[in-house]
Amino acid sequence: MILIVGCGRLGASFAQRLVEQGGEVTILDYDRQNFINHLPRDFKGRTVTGMEIDTDVLRRAGIEEARAVVIVSRDESTNMMVADVARNVFGIENIIVRIDQPQLLELYRSLGFEVLSPISEATDLLERRLTVTGGT
């Protein structure tokens, strides 16, 4: 099972893709409305509502059985706290965490987390595309 923390557009899109590929997915968000807004009505995964940093909520979401935790909520502080709890409390090794602040990317990488940075990755992509097209 993959546990996804955050049901915004990114988390919901990834959860739906995994489910379509036959994966077992649980998606956790503090706001039930995010499931309604971002997931299809026929979503085949499991949804759990609750505070993402609460260890009891994480247990209810199945973190102890998760083979990976993907943390992509909109709140970067929440993402960092959940990553730390997943690693230090539950012993999860396979963690991907969304970090938007470029100055924190290397810190979280140095701590052994796989880091997703939509802002940095999009900036790199734009720079490469401009370079390829001769725009710089």
Mean pLDDT of 26-45: 97
Do the beta carbons of residue 40 and residue 14 sit within 8 Å?
A: no
Any residues with CB less than 8 A from the CB of 120 and at least 6 apart, and which? 102, 105
- The CATH number given to whatever domain includes residue 37 is 3.40.50.720
d(CA 133, CA 125): 12
Domain range for 50: 2-132
Amino acid occupying residue 30: Y
Beta strands 46-49 and 25-29 are parallel
Q: Give pLDDT, residue 131.
A: 84
Quick one: how far is CA 120 from the chain centroid? 16
Tens digits of per-residue pLDDT, 55-86?
999 999 999 999 999 999 999 899 999 999 99
Contact 43, 69 (CB under 8 A): no
Percent of the chain with pLDDT over 90: 75
Q: Please report which residue ranges of 3-132 form alpha helices under DSSP H.
A: 9-20, 32-38, 55-60, 76-88, 102-110, 118-132
Looking at the structure of the chain, the number of domains it has is 1
In this prediction, residue 136 carries a pLDDT of 56
